[in-house]
Structure 1
């Protein structure tokens, strides 16, 4: 007979309650688990959030370095967002999107159209980033079917990419270990090189590396056939791949090749959208491109409610309306498409962004990047890179070889553990530490964050030396 929990129905679990750990191990399946611990795992318990800070299960206050998961853009415990959630739930908690609609979704779609580049004017709302990318890809397939091009379905993606966890979106992923044990629609995806200047071939300059990437893209289109390629999907900055900022001009040149070959350009702004780079959308304002579709999620509600979406070019919709198949059905939808509470929260979140958070982000981002850059003084650090309010500290065995494999593969977790003790939550990625704090962070708080990270890396260097894993 299963052991009974001490927690009664409806009772709030306090942050430090050890019973939550017991319940998690007994009943909760965590995301991205290893087979050896699946269904028997408890992770760091977080109890509260306030501004840029969170409190763990033991009561320790931590700077929320990853902003949840790139998403708590306006900070924790914003009463404005909590009130909107309550008010909208009391007015209308849900409506079926199959044959009804709600006012918040229509207003949010208009606001998004006003902020989007080019002729991106219509939004299909989803529940998050994975479903947003999945929707964009399914729309591409529908679009080409209606236009009489059923063979034009291949998708171009890149090494280092992360586009989601649904079957089709996950098939685009190009990060190490993401697909080692998972199936995917490999027959639909063609992978290209990551636009990572730090990992460019030895002796090759950045300009030559950019030419190499563009030539590879053009050669791939010629080899595979433009008549078979439906879309290119790319993050303006590869986020979970290690904050890979592409070389100048690269995205514009890729966009032009797509336009020349009637390949839909899908800009995945699940991370970069809604303030992370200081603008509602980065594609136009930061990179000078007008995609055919933009996917978004995370920052659209600052993580307060699950919401995502894909913004679609007016041109594509007009082509469908003019087609010879007016009865062709885009058979795609979600129970929570255009959720009224999510859209109401997003509207208020957009107000907060436009009323000062975006301007603050643009003002503080150079300071954030400059202070983190000082960590390159540490011999374990190969590069600090970033843009806006997203950055990555990449650790290497030595700067000459840039080899991360000679280090303990969990060096990022080691740094995170030390930083946790010191008051900072880090997002560890194998040999990297990703930093993307809430956009409301102050200069003094940036200083605190960098000081803790410096000490955490220094302690990790001492550990590795003592273990003989690194000479440094």
Structure 2
């Protein structure tokens, strides 16, 4: 790694602050603090404009699975740019990478999910799922089946429809969402279940809630249920054992399509190329994916459909009618080439096996932090983990939001050379899949020091 030369980082910082509208910006501080400029990277580390080196504990944003700075990835991208950087895939044109990647995804996906529609990311993959689901039921003559059910604290993207499906209420503040089409049921968070309630009863209660919601809305009006195998941005919520299987059975009972949002969980984060069947025992009707599909090297998302859905939507709806859904960059050949190379690297280096091995160690080491006074829960699986901080471990009461405990811990970690993601009172970890035991040990030691420093501050300021 080397710091870029002949670049004024102060000038870059100023240009960014003055002109770049960032996603999820905290405008109460941004105009004063601006952004940390990242200038270089290698494997699991990134380097800022001042040359400071950090272990990236969040994998960019759940996505840099094969690690940074892969030369063979750069070569694959450059080679495709030289061959054919772009051509429209509308109608009856295609490119070699788009076709080959679609076949590879069909091979990797569970069951008979054999048909791939490309977009530019997870939000678009979920929007595409909604449009295709509505089109599918229209083709079947069931034109009233339109409503979507998802879960409180589920995250499905930030386009208008994907954010409407998202159940993280904080993300809706000040924005409009579609409230007639989309309905939410409770989050299946075992940590927050009522005292004394068994996991089995809690699970059955949440499953019954879905059935009750379908009956309330009317089965003839409910088209699909959207769920992440493990909730990501809503706090890394792992549902109780058997939850997804029971939910799928309810969907089948009422002719509701099950969409598994694997934007985060696919391509190794849980130790499998896809987690729906391998980790949770279900074969959904649709899988949406992105992020780890290219390890973040280029934007790409995919909506993967079952044979049954494709059979219906691939028939002309009327004389002269065509399937009028798609984007300029659907099946972009350079992005698809990156996806193919990414999967090749993962398979050759057996990264899923490594995640199952190192992920178990990561989980165990993170749980050693439960002895700290504010760490109420450590949850997740493999390389998708969350620390939830509380004021009282017995009551699970939260620390005053004004304390910004997640941000404090993240700031202390960053000062010590580790980037973690703050989510309100929580901290999320989703590192590159190439992590070693030494990297994990550094992360745990840094988190411990940072949480201890945060506890001292909270006590001195009267928050604890």
**What is aligned with 1:8?**
none
Task: Give 1:345 deviation, angstroms.
Answer: 0.7
Consecutive unaligned residues in structure 1, runs of 5 or more? 1-11
Task: Give 1:57 deviation, angstroms.
Answer: 2.3
Q: 1:449 aligns with which of 416, 435, 443?
A: 443
Q: Does 1:435 align with 2:435?
A: no
Q: 1:381, 1:394 within 8 Å by CA — same for their partners in 2?
A: yes
Task: Give 1:136 deviation, angstroms.
Answer: 0.4
Q: Does 1:263 align with 2:256?
A: yes
1:25-63 Cα distance to aligned partner (Å, 9 max, x none): 221111123455677872121111101111122211111
**What is aligned with 1:47?**
39
CA distance in 2, matches of 1:322, 1:259: 24
Task: Give 1:332 deviation, angstroms.
Answer: 1.3
**What is aligned with 1:79?**
71
Q: Does 1:461 align with 2:455?
A: yes
Higher mean Cα deviation, 158-167 or 356-365?
A: 356-365
Q: 1:131, 1:308 within 8 Å by CA — same for their partners in 2?
A: yes
Q: Does 1:404 align with 2:398?
A: yes
CA distance in 2, matches of 1:440, 1:116: 23
State how 1:85-100 maps to structure 2 within 5 Å: 85-99=77-91, 100=93
Q: 1:15, 1:56 within 8 Å by CA — same for their partners in 2?
A: no
1:114-136 Cα distance to aligned partner (Å, 9 max, x none): 11111100100110010000000
Q: 2:399, 2:463 within 8 Å by CA — same for their partners in 1?
A: no
**What is aligned with 2:386?**
392
**What is aligned with 1:422?**
416
Change (3 A) 1:13 1:211: farther
CA distance in 2, matches of 1:405, 1:137: 38
Q: 1:161, 1:175 within 8 Å by CA — same for their partners in 2?
A: yes
Q: CA RMSD in A?
A: 1.7
CA distance in 2, matches of 1:172, 1:308: 17
Q: Does 1:374 align with 2:368?
A: yes
Q: Does 1:187 align with 2:187?
A: no
State how 1:20-59 maps to structure 2 within 5 Å: 20-34=12-26, 42-59=34-51
**What is aligned with 2:55?**
63
**What is aligned with 1:284?**
277
**What is aligned with 2:204?**
211
Task: Give 1:324 deviation, angstroms.
Answer: 6.4
Q: 1:29, 1:38 within 8 Å by CA — same for their partners in 2?
A: no
Q: 1:52, 1:64 within 8 Å by CA — same for their partners in 2?
A: yes
**What is aligned with 2:99?**
106
What is the count of residue pairs matched by the alignment? 459
Q: 1:350 aligns with which of 318, 343, 355?
A: 343
Change (3 A) 1:39 1:29: farther
2:128 aligned counterpart, secondary structure: helix
2:231 aligned counterpart, secondary structure: coil
Task: Give 1:262 deviation, angstroms.
Answer: 0.9
Task: Give 1:328 deviation, angstroms.
Answer: 4.6
TM-score, length of structure 1 as denominator length:
0.94
CA distance in 2, matches of 1:35, 1:59: 26
Task: Give 1:331 deviation, angstroms.
Answer: 1.9
**What is aligned with 1:9?**
none
Change (3 A) 1:40 1:407: closer
Change (3 A) 1:370 1:227: same
Higher mean Cα deviation, 124-133 or 316-325?
A: 316-325
1:424-455 Cα distance to aligned partner (Å, 9 max, x none): 00100000000011001001110011110111
TM-score, length of structure 2 as denominator length:
0.96
Consecutive unaligned residues in structure 2, runs of 5 or more? none
Change (3 A) 1:315 1:459: same
Q: 1:26, 1:40 within 8 Å by CA — same for their partners in 2?
A: no
1:346-397 Cα distance to aligned partner (Å, 9 max, x none): 1010011111211111111100100001110101100000112110000001
Higher mean Cα deviation, 106-115 or 28-37?
A: 28-37
Q: 1:27, 1:39 within 8 Å by CA — same for their partners in 2?
A: no
1:69-88 Cα distance to aligned partner (Å, 9 max, x none): 00000000011111101000
Higher mean Cα deviation, 277-286 or 37-46?
A: 37-46
CA distance in 2, matches of 1:21, 1:142: 46
CA distance in 2, matches of 1:112, 1:62: 33
CA distance in 2, matches of 1:15, 1:287: 48
Higher mean Cα deviation, 329-338 or 151-160?
A: 329-338
2:180 aligned counterpart, secondary structure: helix
Task: Give 1:409 deviation, angstroms.
Answer: 4.8
Higher mean Cα deviation, 197-206 or 75-84?
A: 197-206
Q: 2:401, 2:424 within 8 Å by CA — same for their partners in 1?
A: no
Change (3 A) 1:29 1:106: same
Change (3 A) 1:16 1:48: farther
Higher mean Cα deviation, 162-171 or 139-148?
A: 139-148
